[in-house]
Amino acid sequence: MNSPFDLRRIASIARKEVHHILRDPFTLAMGLGLPLILVLFFGYVMQLDPREIRIMVADRDQTRASRQLIEAFSASGFFRVAPTPPGAGLISLLDAERAKAVVVIEGEFGRKVRSGAEARVQVLVDGADNSSAGTLVGYLAGIQQYANHILADTPAAPPGRLATRFLYNPELNSRWFVVPGLFVVVTAILAVMLTALTVAREWETGSMELLLSTPVRPAEIVVGKLTPYLVLVIAAVVLVYAVARVILGIPFRSSHVLFAVSCILFVVPLLAQGLLISSTVRAQAIAIQVGLISSLLPAMLLSGFIFPIESMPAFFNWLSAVMPARWFMQICRGIFLKNAGLGELAVPMTALLIIGFVLVNVTVRRFKVDLEP
Amino acid sequence: MNLRRRLHLPRFNPVILGFIRKELSQAFRDRRMAALLFVAPVVQMALFGYALRTDLKNIRLAVVAAPGDRIATRIADRAYASGYFLPASVSRADPYEDLAAGRADAVLIAPPRGFTRAVSRGSGSAQLLIDATNAVRARVVEGYITGIAAGVLVEDAGTAPPLGPVRFDIRVLYNPTLESSIFMIPALAVLVLSLMVILTAMGIAREKELGTMEMLLSAPVSRWEILAGKTIPYVLMAFVNTPIVLTTGILWFEVPVRGAVWMVALSAVVFAIATSSIGTMISSLARNQQQAMIGGFLFMLPGMMLSGVFFPLENMPPAVYWITYLNPLRYFVTLLRNIILKGGSPDVVWPNLAAMAALAVCAAFFAVKRFRQTLN
């Protein structure tokens, strides 16, 4: 009673929460199962490089030259080529999502190529799908050059060229790119959502009053309730790590100690965020909604997971800077792929530390104020 | 009332009507919930619309070349002028070090005796190092720089090189400038709206947790009425929300709408029914709100990832591609993109609508069946 912070009382609160979790194996299973399924799933699923783009060719020439051009498309490996169905309007094929592009070879193509006149080939590209349209247009330049090389014997490559080396992920393996990012998304969601519910539940069922009438102090309730979830989230991280390394073969190039420290630095502000939400709104349905809005979409969209932060307008660049997910994304990619050391990670780690410090302070203050009627 | 009788409309089930009234007033009793449901999606729409850009900007590019290297300098100038790249200063000693420290995203290194000299001798290659921790970005960066370099090399040769007779005449339809927001806004609307699934999922679970479900069951109300009464309010809310969210996105980001509004509305209704039914199904499986929430996630997160918004569906392995047929988000994304950007082709609209409706029916059927079992 007289000590402000009693480990025994914290332990009993924590024990009660552990019982809650254990009595309901569903939470435990999902707390660990959800990340596992996601990582396995996405480790296998994600193929970012658009291979085999569906294109259709209207060959109105039917000569050796036109067939060689079609061959150039299919031999590149980027396209799955099919002839246009007879009688179909060309644009309606794109409207109906039957193809990402339609290539039209005019009747005079072969003759023009033989005589060296300019033989135009119209390519209609479906611009409604940005991701594939951009890549497709990029591929077309190469195909055009290759087609000219085989049909008119122009040089295969210009005199100067760039030899590109992709560092840290030389084969642009999508899995290496997605899985370190999933760490961020999964951890953010689990930490915020699980804690957002726990205190809100106590309020909703009215057991919070009961807890408060006992000699346990507010700070002890907070620490006691959060510790089991901290352990659960860390367990999930370890599990995901094991799967990523052993099953998916993701490289890990930096230090494990740094990674562990960063994880803690990332999880603490998230737990505080969840707690802040649930002690403020006190109703589970609302806590969930606020938790979702403040964790899921920011972790996926504003963290640089897929859409790079540099491309956003300046304001959003700043906005993402106050979100822990952005910094942990940088840390995860740095640690897994880049062999980043303390020097490289100093900025993101400091940022996490500051965000965590502010959030924990706000939460504790808010929790205290809330309890005094 | 009289009008209804004259038109011989069936009388709407009063029990369900009562449920709807109760559920809606319960949801809106708390003003914060109303704000979350109707204001938050609009804010998210405006906010994330800026974040979802597939075109790149502000990539830090460093060029390591001697000052007199004409071609290398020109590539650098043109890259910085393009608006995609920012100059990054690197130590000449070790560009790898700079990439590792994150001081640059890409480094172009001229060969030791200059790129210009190498090209003039007929075979020169400059090295381009790209930080590929974001593999998607790396690919686009490579495309940009290679394009710029090719342009500079052609110009430097004085006369245009023998391009050959074959010339591709590329026309990009629907979105000629490949503006990201036009492509992304319909998809973002789907993401924002799908967040409501969790809410539906928690409805029945809350009754179970608070013990009021027993009371409901002891009342003279049939089970399917409980389920319908718990689902329809969320369908209504989603349906009211859709035009708000879509209109915000469309007006804010100036997305052209080429299709019929009734098609969008019809898709929105079917989507609302499908996701709410899935929410109810999860709800009937869960014992408390926490379980419902996690169940909702287990549906929603893969649902978002497999919707075609983030990753193209065509590239997924066949087994996973089959799973996406169970994903209502996938159909709604396809529908909205097709209707809004392409005017809605019947070959796309009807099959996708039918599939989404079938999903809704299956989920509703399963929810009723499962609800009976858990209660007996």
> Which residue of B lies nearest to A287 if distances are taken between CA atoms?
B33
Cα B186 to Cα B340: distance, rounded to the nearest angstrom: 8
Same domain, A321 and A260: yes
B315 touches chain A (CB under 8 A): yes
Same domain, B130 and B194: no
Helices (H) and strands (E) counted in chain A, each on its own, are 14, 5
Same domain, B259 and B151: no
> Which residue of B lies nearest to A341 if distances are taken between CA atoms?
B101
CATH of the domain at A90: 3.40.1710.10
Cα B369 to Cα B376: distance, rounded to the nearest angstrom: 11
Task: Tell me which of B156, B191, B216 is where a domain ends.
Answer: B156
Same domain, B305 and B362: yes
Give pLDDT tens digits for A241-299: 999 999 888 899 889 999 999 999 999 999 999 988 888 888 887 888 888 888 887 88
A252 touches chain B (CB under 8 A): no
Q: Considering only CB atoms, which chain B residues are within 8 Å of A308?
A: 53, 56, 134, 137
Please, which residues 281-310 of chain B have a Cβ atom closer than 8 Å to chain A? 286-291, 293-295, 297-298, 301-302, 304-306, 310
Is residue B162 in some structural domain? no
Is residue B172 in some structural domain? no
Give pLDDT tens digits for B181-193: 788 888 888 888 8
Mutate to test the interface with A, among B290, B313, B337, B338 (most CBs of A within 10 A): B290
A143 touches chain B (CB under 8 A): yes
Is residue A272 in some structural domain? yes
Share of chain B above pLDDT 90, in %: 13
Is residue B161 in some structural domain? no
Same domain, A42 and A62: no
pLDDT band at B9 (very low <50, low <70, confident <90, very high): low
Same domain, B114 and B222: no
Same domain, A210 and A329: yes
**Contact state of B132 with A50 under an 8 Å Cβ cutoff:** no
Same domain, A260 and A178: yes
pLDDT of residue A3: 57
Same domain, B242 and B121: no
Same domain, B233 and B209: yes
Same domain, A98 and A215: no
Task: Tell me which of B107, B123, B156 is where a domain ends.
Answer: B156
Full domain range(s) for residue B107: 59-156
> Which residue of B lies nearest to A286 if distances are taken between CA atoms?
B33
What residue has token string 């049939």?
B222
A242 touches chain B (CB under 8 A): no
Q: How many domains does chain A have?
A: 2
Task: Tell me which of A102, A122, A152 is where a domain ends.
Answer: A152
**Contact state of A38 with B301 under an 8 Å Cβ cutoff:** yes
**Contact state of B134 with A308 under an 8 Å Cβ cutoff:** yes
Q: Considering only CB atoms, which chain B residues are within 8 Å of A57?
A: none
Across A208-234, average pLDDT: 83
Is residue B185 in some structural domain? yes
Q: Are A124 and A104 in contact (CB under 8 A)?
A: yes
Is residue B32 in some structural domain? yes
A34, A95, A129 ranked by CB distance to B183: nearest: A129
What residue has token string 């329809």?
B232
Is residue A167 in some structural domain? no
Same domain, A318 and A336: yes
Same domain, B102 and B212: no
pLDDT band at A372 (very low <50, low <70, confident <90, very high): low
Same domain, A243 and A144: no
B95 to chain A, closest Cα gap in Å? 11
Cα A316 to Cα A243: distance, rounded to the nearest angstrom: 33
A163, A177, A301 ranked by CB distance to B51: nearest: A301
Q: Are B280 and B227 in contact (CB under 8 A)?
A: yes
Task: Tell me which of A117, A152, A187 is where a domain ends.
Answer: A152
Task: Tell me which of B156, B190, B211 is where a domain ends.
Answer: B156
Is residue B175 in some structural domain? no
Q: Considering only CB atoms, which chain A residues are within 8 Å of B124?
A: 159-161
**Contact state of A172 with B135 under an 8 Å Cβ cutoff:** yes
- Pairing verdict, β B106-109 and B124-131: antiparallel
Q: What are phi and psi of B61, to 5 degrees?
A: -115, 130
Same domain, B345 and B272: yes
B48, B100, B169 ranked by CB distance to A301: nearest: B48
Same domain, B149 and B204: no
**Contact state of B287 with A96 under an 8 Å Cβ cutoff:** no
Cα B334 to Cα B313: distance, rounded to the nearest angstrom: 11
Give A134: exposed, middle or buried? Use CB within 10 Å, 0-12, 13-18, 19+: buried
Segment of A1-15, A104-118, B7-21, B197-211 carrying the highest mean pLDDT: A104-118
Is residue A162 in some structural domain? no
Tokens for B151? 């342009």
A283 touches chain B (CB under 8 A): yes
Position with higher pLDDT, A132 vs A166: A166
CATH of the domain at B85: 3.40.190
pLDDT of residue A1: 46
Q: Are B331 and B355 in contact (CB under 8 A)?
A: yes
Same domain, A85 and A131: yes
Is residue B218 in some structural domain? yes
Segment of A18-27, A261-270, B225-234 carrying the highest mean pLDDT: A261-270
Same domain, A60 and A112: yes
Query: In the predicted model, what is the mean pLDDT of chain A?
Result: 84
Q: How many domains does chain B have?
A: 2
Full domain range(s) for residue A196: 10-46+172-371
Is residue A366 in some structural domain? yes
Same domain, A265 and A358: yes
Same domain, B290 and B247: yes
Same domain, A278 and A301: yes
> Which residue of B lies nearest to A53 if distances are taken between CA atoms?
B314
Is residue B167 in some structural domain? no
Point out the least confidently predicted range of A91-95, A160-164, A194-198: A160-164
Same domain, A97 and A202: no
pLDDT for B81 beyond 50: yes
Q: Which helix (H) or strand (E) holds B126?
A: strand B124-131
**Contact state of A334 with B294 under an 8 Å Cβ cutoff:** no
Cα B147 to Cα B79: distance, rounded to the nearest angstrom: 10
A353 touches chain B (CB under 8 A): no
Same domain, B201 and B343: yes
Same domain, B188 and B248: yes
**C-alpha closest to that of A336 among A254, A246, A248:** A254
Share of chain A above pLDDT 90, in %: 20
